[in-house]
Structure 1
Amino acid sequence: MFAMMKELPLSKVYQFIEPGPVVLLTTQVPGTKPNVMTMSWLMMLEFEPPLIACVVAEGNYSFAALQKQHKCVIAVPPANLAKIVTDIGNCTGGDTDKFGSFDLTPLPASQVEAPLIGEAIVNLECRVKDSQMVKAYNLFVLECVKAWETPKLKDAPMLHHHGYGHFSVDGERIHIKSKMR
């Protein structure tokens, strides 16, 4: 059986473990323009209140804003925004007004300074709950304090990152009865 398998380089493991959708993370420090970055390294930690762990590299422009404000928005874009999402991820907020350059609609949030994204399926207003692992791993634990959905996009397919410019789009959805609520 092992003869049919080929060793996988450890650098490619993440391409198979990425479970969640590609998201957009917005931040805003008062007196500055809002910023948005593309992110795919996140995971759920708890259901209620919703806790989300995410990695924001120290070199990202959004890292400093998240460190300073301790607030952000996680927006889940539909797959038809794949080109915009990729372009956002290929530039820095340090020299690019991403909302202006990529025709995203910033909408006011109710609990945080960072804007919601009008084109998103879902927007999650978040506060940093735990930053103990930031120094070692750039890992923030966020608590979702308010959530918004766009009803007309509730069934829109999401984008999933598989590394090095490769993505997949949600396919057919199936439902299997669960005893969990």
Structure 2
Amino acid sequence: MNELSLSKAYRFLEPGPVVLVTTAYKGNTNIMTMSYYMIIQDGSEDGSVPLIGCSIGPWDHSFTALCTTGECVIAVPTVDLASKVVEIGNCSGDDVDKFDAFGLTPVSAQKVKSPLVAECLANLECRVSDNSLVDKYNLFILEVVKAWTDPERKERRTIHHNGDGTFVVDGRTINLKRKMVKWPTYV
């Protein structure tokens, strides 16, 4: 084993696909790219609600909108949008109307004012459930209040950031459902 810089440790724990976060504030919408999030509670057990923890800091244009409105949408893009996802993450909503600049379609959500992204595989409408860790860690706890998916979407492979500018694309699925005896709610 070789020692690894602590600043690179997260690269081995990236939890899931890169997502887009939309916000709406003062008549303006924004999209940001995010890969720092975690599932806190999946909502599959005893009627609990899905909770997601995500890190959005004051350096992000979306921070003020999320703090003020308490709402956002987490949209899950697929590999065909990978280049746009990276470009969205490399510019600021202070300077760019990202929906327009990247040819994405905002769709009205049902329970929040932030828009869904029509081109994405899934969209999760969220409200801030707990902001007690924002000042210290820039960590928002979001409650998913409505979820959408596009069953007609042919491309379903998501992208995962390695933390160094490279990405992994979902590949072959391995079916181990019959071995999930302890966690049948996940099958």
Task: Evaluate the alpha carbon distance shift between residue 146 and residue 89 of structure 1 in structure 2; reply closer, same or farther with a 3 A threshold.
Answer: same
Q: Pairwise mapping of residues 62-141 of structure 1 onto structure 2 (< 5 A)?
A: 62-141=62-141
Counterpart in 2 of 1:163? 163
**Structure 1 position 9 matched with structure 2 position 5:** yes
The 1-side partners of 2:153 and 2:159 are apart by 14
CA contact (8 A) 2:21 2:34 kept: yes
Measured after TM superposition, the shift of residue 154 of structure 1 is 7.2
The 1-side partners of 2:153 and 2:172 are apart by 16
Letter in 1 for 2:30: N
Counterpart in 2 of 1:32? 27
SS in structure 2 of the partner of residue 132 of structure 1: strand
Counterpart in 2 of 1:41? 36
SS in structure 2 of the partner of residue 131 of structure 1: strand
CA contact (8 A) 1:24 1:77 kept: yes
The 1-side partners of 2:121 and 2:35 are apart by 16
The 1-side partners of 2:155 and 2:92 are apart by 31
Q: Normalising by structure 1, report the TM-score.
A: 0.94
Letter in 2 for 1:51: L
Stretches of structure 2 that go unaligned for 5 or more consecutive residues are: 44-48
The 2-side partners of 1:122 and 1:25 are apart by 12
Deviations 1:1-38 (CA, angstroms, capped at 9, x unpaired):
xxxx1111111111111021100000001x42210000
Runs of 4+ in 1 over 2 A off after TM superposition: 152-155
The 1-side partners of 2:4 and 2:160 are apart by 20
Between Structure 1 and Structure 2, how many residues are aligned?
176
Q: Normalising by structure 2, report the TM-score.
A: 0.91
Deviations 1:102-149 (CA, angstroms, capped at 9, x unpaired):
000100000000000001110000000000000000000000000000
The 2-side partners of 1:146 and 1:155 are apart by 22
Stretches of structure 1 that go unaligned for 5 or more consecutive residues are: none
